[in-house]
Structure 1
């Protein structure tokens, strides 16, 4: 935003600006000025007054006075009046009247800036033409004022200035020349750069600068930033020049959506940004190369020995101004410097009763609240050998934010200079933030070492990085900016950081990249924790904690030595009770990141099991006091387990984090604990501020999700928390209560999955789950589902209802089961697509419940509801409905296999036909719908009975559905769609009522599967197609001899190509693919007729050695689970081979000639080789 002009006026003019005419209608004074300007216009036909005569002199003097009055005007005029005055003024001032030209340009600059006027296009054209002509004709001493006027005119008007760009930004453009490195006048250069930067501002919805102009501007700004300060240039002017160039680059990156792709361009920009990031930083002087290059190690960090000596020995010691004591009242919500010197203890009551077994969520009594401060041991909690902070902690105190803002009156020119230098550093960091968003992360991480700290080598100084600013910059705002940039770098860095590893200590001749990255991660932890305890500004403190949360979310702790998370955990605890709500919220976010990262981590498991009373109280007694649940705030969180108290051995008290979050959510606030809640007045009277409660609920949900085995001890209590939240009026609290409920339900579901590793006696008992859901269904959940006006809340409540354990659902009372089903069927007709999608998905879950799927009426009702949603206009609703339709048709198959013909006869033919047609139509939808639609088609076609197939009404629908499946198998759809289509065709082949081998579609189906098994790039799709080809149980199903031969040949080719892949990730599936193809080949041989053997023999003759080697591999491989989930071992495989051999021997005996023993002989050789190798390995 352009600066307000009145601040730059002399004192007299300021007074005039303030003491202007009062009680006058808006814009009235400007219209008077306009009239006076009109009076000075020469009459038509009159000659222009000569400046040398008296008339010309009086006119000139009057114009000067009039312009001065306009400059001092304070009444807010209408934009049209301002434009009219400026145009009139320019018309009155000829370009040879240079003093007046200078004055009228000042007028343009001041009026546009002060009143924030946007000039319309017609007036803009006139005023721009005037300024450009003035630049060309007037003396150089006027150029600064002219350029300032030009900058004000083009501000946010770039798209309207297209026709003037050649004059301004062309090869010989005025701004290009005046901003070039050859320009000796720095003020002039600064004004030109500012005008250029304003031209680069983007306007949403409007065209941006052409690429050629963007490139010119970028190079100009880069050149300015690369330039050094001349000795005759004052620091403030140079700082303003750098600021304008940085704003220009930021505008190019933001408004122009400029993408940084060229290495030299990126390297040059990052080099100057790093240089400017440290501009004027006390105690630091660095030289930077012209460009940075992608490299895994620090490239260049040259500091003079004197400066290095000053900044390194006390790497975390501030310069002189940082040692000033805070004057005046300490800022509310900040840890003051005295608080840092006297790191307090909570005293008595800082322990928790060991025999408190469960959370008590009763009404709390208001009690005075202690304010836990960081303990000295907490402050010193950093890695040994690297951190000597505890002995210097009082020397690392920061000035308050108010002391970092300087003025001439307080500190003179030196303080003003430091303020401008800080602005440059902030501008560079803001520009860097835009640059990060303008380049690919994989490119950015090539420059990781230039901006992220690494542990210093022996005898070498630590390289300067963003953490240098975060730790040493005197300005809290600059420190916060550096942390924002570091957060942006860390965001999305999980894949890059995943290579880090330092778990083993093997000595190496070189340092692997993985160890380098691990070292950098450790150093980041160390530096951020140092910044945490040293920071006094609440705003910056919030950024530190957010940055730590980003680091925790992306670091691969499973590959690093344990201990990092423990240090973060212990040092963040005191900040949960910080005076500033934002610090408290971000602290909870960090704890949430810890409990969600790669959960469950053993280190975090131990941290969660630490009893809060593990530390001793002030009396030295280790005996814990008993506290009720409302007194959690008085208990200072422990900093760790003592060695003689192993973690997890005490189960008599709840997880402190769980207790903390529950207390924040459900207990009334205590006023002395939080005094910065002005932004949350609606909640300040009863509960903690809403953001704090929401964050606590999110942490609870993450804790339940990642560490359910620990949270399940408080299963019913957490359910009560969710209930109480859903009973509140605030929809955001209700929403997160519903999300917590869903996580609780999902945690139980995971325990009861067939593949779950949780022992049955360690699971939440079904009776407890039934009690839990009975409470939920008698509570606020049904009301939310029926009456809530908030769609997101209803959606989340619907998801929660779908997380009920099937075994528990069947034990619910009948009326509660009916309630659940009725609610979901009703919500399936919601007008909101989010709610409708959630309801459709929930019905797809319920249809699999054993107690519901055998109810023909429920299945029919669900089918009709799902089919209705399958035609919804929302793609998301259709996708969820297709998934549910797939589940519904799975249920049809299960019922067919368990209940027999009775269920098939009872199920409506009309509804079955409707399902077939709807699924066929859905198979032509987008991929997310199609993948489940084809699954449903395969199931329905498998379910059809002879009466359906003979029914003329079904005939056309069956043909269309089969064609849809076949075309999907051979299409270019996603892997999931084609995989499901192959699976569906395999299901079709299981239906003996279909004319497989006789109908024309049979050839098409086998041809599509044969093509896929040979050439599909995705091996999982190939596996599924090979499986489908091995499903028909009779030789007749494979059709003619020619078709059988084609299938056989395709499988042999697929076996040969089973190791050919362009994608290395597919290679891991090649063994499974060969296993499936070998099973298919042996299956075909078990069914082969005599007429099939010539084709088989031909391939054996040509490729016998290849087939033999793969068959031997297949027979030797150990127990394997195939795609159907069944296990096959070597005995089963050998048995199948013997069956094929026996069948072929029988077939060949019926034949005459040489073909009689050939194929069986080949299989006999395979079996003999396998038997011999088993005996003599």
Structure 2
């Protein structure tokens, strides 16, 4: 008792004196002496013992004072030993006293510990090692203990700055530990504890334990900071993690024991937290992280050569290696494994094969933490709990989740490391060495790890990788040779992924794992270019999914969630483009015959879409049927009656009515709303299936019924130009099928189906309470063809038009009005519609009404419809003039409405602006901008409605110039096309127009500088429209020189985007045609500057004309051979351009005249020789 009182007295005397002496803020060296004489001179044990008898708040206050003063003397000579002794005292006191400190005290303690690490333990090239190794390790241990006490006493209320300070301090501690670890490793050479099966000395294990503590505290701090972490601190943590993981990989420190397992788990937890909130680029670190993480995929598992495939569920299956050449899967069912209770597992754990483990869990874990817990393994993991002595499965799980984080943080760089993560061969074989994610998915005995492996594979296949995989191409490994291209490597990986995922899908029963497998499989199907893979691959996928669905349906209690996932995958597979001949053959099995009808894919989907099924299942079945009807229209059209009846039955259910149906029944609240919403989506999907069937039966190929009259006499269309694929039109042709085998639409069948649709379905679905149902119904009109429309009776035609117009004007739902505008845009393309004044006025006003809608989605389709209406009017106006037909186009008010609306829309967004420019261009083609009378040979035609406002022309040109400078690519080439239409208006006098020179300059700039070849083609077309030399006006010399410069530099032009290269052949042909057209107008009367330019460029022009003459001569001499060559080169776009003989002759004669009158006789003689060669 006396000694205790003496100790308390000494403590208080020392700290009271210290406080008094520091009131005057003495310099650091004085503080250093005071600490040494007043506190550190006392026996440490007596001070620690006295602290137990003092009030906690007093001890806390004195300790904080000691830490604050010690920080202040860190720069003094010999301060290192003092800081370590102070830290030792604080550590011993903290072990005895449970302190409660505030935020300010926490900051003081963190600052002191940081000074201690830097001054006493810092390792750098300029600082010698102050303490010997054992003392350093003791100091580090005490620093970590003090940190833990401080963080615990402060609670989880640390500020962001304190968490940042804590992380920086811990990074310094880890750097010191890493230095010690490196020294210990090199001092022992190859006789390290790591080399001896993980059984090491206390110093070695102590280093790993301290790093485990440090990383655990960093993980806690990172969890608190979250997305608020500073970028430079994030970078520092990443670099420390990378350095340590590189050390593990380079030294092969994959040790299986308690200490190392905990260390790996904590290390990967920190990496997970850092990768989850990236604050900078990871490109420099991805390769290092992946290489190290991949080494832990099999950590803690038995010998890889004897590892059996993992199984879950009572349906225990095993499989043998598939024949990779044939792509066949051999999944054979074995006998059921016997259930072993936990107490027997513990007794016989090492004797029981892992393949007999059973799964009874059906829950799907969402996210897995890394905290140690007995619940990390359950009975569903079989013998893992007893066999996993060191909890190594937590390390494997953490490593896989880090790979998943990298997929999300830096997917672009991760794709270059697929070699490490995905197999190229033998996916179902046990890998003795380099494990992949598929190894974990197939062979790991822990279900959580297998689920995360599937999730990680799904993350790898998502987003950026789907673009990369488009280059994948499967080649037999025996044909690849010693060098494997990227495309072949990716093709091999896709084949292995298909093999592994399909085999697992067939034998697994764990619902959580199956859900992850289906997600990965769906992304795999979406990303795979099946046209470049073996033809049997996609049918194999579809057949496997069909088998799985039928197996699910055979169960007593079918799993709706898995059935939905399976149907979603099937729909994705059936919607793959381009359509496959092999898939068509599979779908035709049982579709028309009398055998195996129950296994036919279309019939199975029809069965799932019938009454009595859950609405969500019916929805997915309809989605898959829609995919079939789009890609394989001849299949589903055979089942039109069944589909029609099923959808009609659906329409009988009024979801939003009070006397609701059997499906919603007595459901109330959120459940009733969900069922109602699902049923509405189901009805919508059914209508879309009918829509696809109607389009296929009608022969719909897009809104192209309107006769194209777009400058065909000027624009030279290449034989290698690609046919435009309309996404909304069914696929009528399949690769590999002859023309006779492809689907041919029957107009009579289409008319019959449309009659049934109008009589039965549309009267019920057009007034439906659900907007999505009404929108789908109105969209059906957008798939109608002109032939089918005019084969309907007049009352049904009126029904179609009035339904679309009414929905566009009166429906309250924007989606319905948008769909109605699209339908109006298609109907407006029917050639006879513009002859019906009343109908034309109605659709014009309906489209114009929606151009004022606040939603851009509605204005886009409204402007598209408006442009189509103007296109039809332009076509009809030119027809009237060409055919000398009588009749009024439309009234002047509607023309004025169209012009004003289009001009207003040119100020909207790019998608709307593009349609507005197209509308103006069509109007500019036929509106008469003067009031001159018409020639007497067409007296019956009335043009009063076609006369335009005198200001319209100026406003149109201003709109074109504005759009070409501010719009996107599509806007720009629509402007070029609109200018072509404007130039073709014969009421204009281009040479008198003040705006003409500026317009010509813009077209030349686009032709020269645009990176998009389509824009350049349209600009060249527009420059070729003026029919006389006078029309070019003062811009003629500029046009001639500009075209020559562009023609001369075309071969060396590499500035265009790769996606434009397919149009380069067309550009060269159009540029040649335009140049010949313009050169045909040059004469000896032109300006001297232009004649000098033509003389200067005579050598180039001569060679150019020689090539054209040679091409023309070869075409004349061997027309059949030319046609053959053209046909052979159809795919690569390298056909030979044959110029128009009259245009070529006219251009050469014009140049010959210039050279003769310029006294360049030698040049003239060479051109005369060329000209004579054409005759």
Question: TM-score, structure 2 length as denominator?
Answer: 0.69
Distance 1:1011 1:410 in 2: 69
The equivalent residue for 1:336 is 314
1:695 aligns with 2:620: yes
Structure 1 residues 171 and 743: alpha-carbon distance in aligned structure 2, compared to 1, 3 A threshold:
same
* Deviation for aligned residue 1:519: 2.9
Answering whether residue 832 of structure 2 is matched by residue 860 of structure 1, we say: no
Question: In structure 1, how many angstroms separate the alpha carbons of the residues matched to 2:380 and 2:875?
Answer: 85
Deviation at 1:972, TM superposition (A): 6.3
User: Could you list the per-position Cα deviations for residues 233-271 of structure 1 after superposition, in whole angstroms to 9, with x for gaps in the alignment?
Assistant: 984454333333222222222234554222xx1111112
Question: 1:497 maps to which residue?
Answer: 469
Provide the residue aligned with 1:955 in structure 2. 950
- Equivalent of residue 1134 in structure 1, options 1126, 1131, 1141: 1141
Given the alignment of the two structures, is residue 166 of structure 1 paired with residue 137 of structure 2, yes or no?
no
Deviation at 1:934, TM superposition (A): 1.5
Query: Any conservation in 2 of the 1:209–1:256 contact (CA below 8 Å)?
Result: no
| In 2: Cα distance, 1:143 partner to 1:1111 partner | 86
* CA offsets 1:1008-1066 (integer angstroms, 9 cap, x no match): 222322333322222211211221223332224xx323222222222212223223554
Q: Deviations over 1:1058-1087 (max 9, x none)?
A: 223223554443332232233223333555
Q: RMSD between aligned alpha carbons?
A: 4.9
Question: What CA deviation, in whole Å up to 9, does each residue of 1:347-404 have, x standing for no partner?
Answer: xxxxxxxxxxxxxxxxxxxxxxxxxxxxx9x998976699776498989946234599
SS in 1 for 2:296: helix
Residues 225 and 272, structure 1, Cα contact 8 Å, conserved in 2: yes
Aligned to 2:560: 581
Alignment of 1:75-474 (within 5 A): 101=94, 160-163=159-162, 165-170=164-169, 184=206, 186-201=208-223, 207-216=228-237, 219-220=240-241, 223=244, 227=248, 235-262=257-284, 265-284=285-304, 308=305, 310-311=306-307, 316-317=308-309, 336-337=314-315, 340=317, 390=332, 397=355, 399-402=357-360, 406=377, 415=386, 417=388, 420-441=391-412, 443-455=413-425, 463-474=434-445
Distance 1:697 1:126, change over 3 A: farther
Cα distance change of structure 1 residues 827 and 276 upon mapping to structure 2, 3 Å threshold:
farther
Give the secondary-structure state (helix, strand or coil) at the position aligned to 2:990: coil
Q: Cα–Cα, structure 1 residues 1070 and 177, in superposed 2: closer, same or farther, change >3 Å?
A: same
1:982 lines up with 2:976 in the alignment: yes
Question: Measured at CA, do residues 751 and 915 of structure 1 come closer, stay the same or move farther in structure 2, by a change above 3 Å?
Answer: closer
Partner of 1:111: none
Confirm or deny: 8 A CA contact 2:283 2:410 kept in the other structure: yes
Residue 913, structure 1, aligned to residue 896, structure 2: yes
**Are 1:1005 and 2:999 an aligned pair?**
yes
1:662 aligns to 2:606 (yes or no):
yes
CA distance in 2, matches of 1:54, 1:1165: 119
Q: For residues 387 and 167 of structure 1, what CA distance do their matches in structure 2 show?
A: 55
Work out whether residues 256 and 300 of structure 2, in 8 Å CA contact, stay in contact via their aligned partners in 1: no
Question: How far 1:931 sits from its partner (Å)?
Answer: 1.9
Q: CA deviation at 1:60?
A: 8.0
Q: Write the distance in 2 (CA, Å) between the matches of 1:143 and 1:949.
A: 99
C-alpha separation in 1, matches of 2:376 and 2:752: 60
Structure 1: distance between partners of 2:112 and 2:170? 18
2:1020 to 1010, 1021, 1026: 1026
| Farther off after superposition, 698-707 or 1061-1070 | 1061-1070
Q: Is the 8 A contact 2:313 2:360 kept in 1?
A: no
2:535 is aligned with 1:558: no
Rounded Cα–Cα distance in structure 2 between residues aligned with 1:1131 and 1:56? 104
Do the aligned partners of residues 904 and 998 (structure 1) sit closer, same or farther apart at CA in structure 2, a change above 3 Å counting?
farther
- 1:944 maps to what in 2? 927
The answer to whether the 8 Å contact 2:1021/2:1074 transfers is: yes
* Larger RCO, structures 1/2 (Cα 8 Å, 6+ apart): 1
Give the Cα separation in 1 of the matches to 2:152 and 2:642: 63
Per-residue CA deviation, residues 808-833 of structure 1 (Å, 9 max, x unaligned), is 22333444433433333343345554
C-alpha offsets along residues 470-507 of structure 1, whole Å, 9 cap, x if unaligned? Answer: 11100122111111111222234344334444457985
1:649 maps to what in 2?
Answer: none
Distance 1:541 1:835 in 2: 38
Measure how far apart 1:858 and its partner are. 2.5
SS in 2 for 1:1010: helix
Q: Are residue 595 (structure 1) and residue 574 (structure 2) matched?
A: yes
**Alpha-carbon distance between aligned partners in 2 of 1:136 and 1:908, rounded to the nearest angstrom:** 89
- Distance in 1 of aligned mates of 2:916 and 2:381: 74
Counterpart in the other structure of 2:584: 605
Question: 2:1146 aligned with 1:1166, yes or no?
Answer: no
**Is the CA contact 1:148–1:191 (under 8 Å) kept in the aligned structure 2?**
no
- State the SS of the aligned residue for 1:277: coil
The answer to whether the aligner puts 1:1103 opposite 2:1097 as a matched pair is no
Give the structure 2 partner of residue 732 of structure 1.
681
Say whether the 8 Å CA contact 1:179–1:220 is kept in structure 2.
Answer: no
Distance 1:398 1:747 in 2: 52
Q: Unpaired runs of 5+ in structure 1?
A: 1-44, 64-93, 109-121, 285-307, 323-333, 342-375, 615-622, 626-631, 638-655, 669-686, 1122-1127, 1172-1177
1:27 is matched with: none
Distance 1:1154-1:890 versus aligned 2 partners, 3 A rule: same
**Conservation of the 8 A alpha-carbon contact between 1:400 and 1:537:** no
* 1:804 aligned partner: 784
Aligned equivalents of 2:48 and 2:401: distance in 1? 53
The residue aligned with 1:896 is 877
Deviates more, 1:1130-1139 or 1:421-430: 1130-1139
TM-score in terms of structure 1 length = 0.69
After TM superposition, give the deviation of residue 751 of structure 1 in Å. Answer: 5.3
Q: How does 1:820-859 map to 2 (within 5 A)?
A: 820-829=800-809, 830=811, 832-859=813-840
- Which residue of 2 is the match for residue 887 of structure 1? 868
* 2:66 alignment counterpart: none
Corresponding residue for 1:1046?
1038
Distance 1:549 1:906 in 2: 53
Q: C-alpha separation between the residues in 2 aligned to 1:598 and 1:828? A: 33
- What runs of 5+ residues in structure 2 fail to find an aligned partner? 1-15, 20-45, 60-86, 117-137, 182-203, 337-352, 362-374, 553-557, 656-678, 706-722, 724-731, 734-738, 934-945, 1116-1121, 1128-1134
Match of 2:1109 in 1: 1112
Call closer, same or farther: CA 1:154–1:734 in 2, change over 3 Å.
farther
Q: Is the 8 A contact 2:222 2:274 kept in 1?
A: yes
Which shifted more, 181-190 or 704-713?
Answer: 181-190
For residue 543 of structure 1, the aligned residue among 474, 499, 516 is: 516
CA 1:219–1:510: 2 relative to 1, 3 Å: same
Which residue matches 1:653? none
* 1:406 Cα offset (Å): 4.2
Q: Alpha carbons of 1:272 and 1:1100: their partners in 2 closer, same or farther (altered >3 Å)?
A: closer
Is it true that 1:486 corresponds to 2:457 in the alignment? yes
CA distance in 1 between partners of 2:1161 and 2:255 (Å): 101
Equivalent-residue separation in structure 2 for 1:438 and 1:385 (angstroms): 34
Confirm or deny: 8 A CA contact 1:150 1:195 kept in the other structure. no
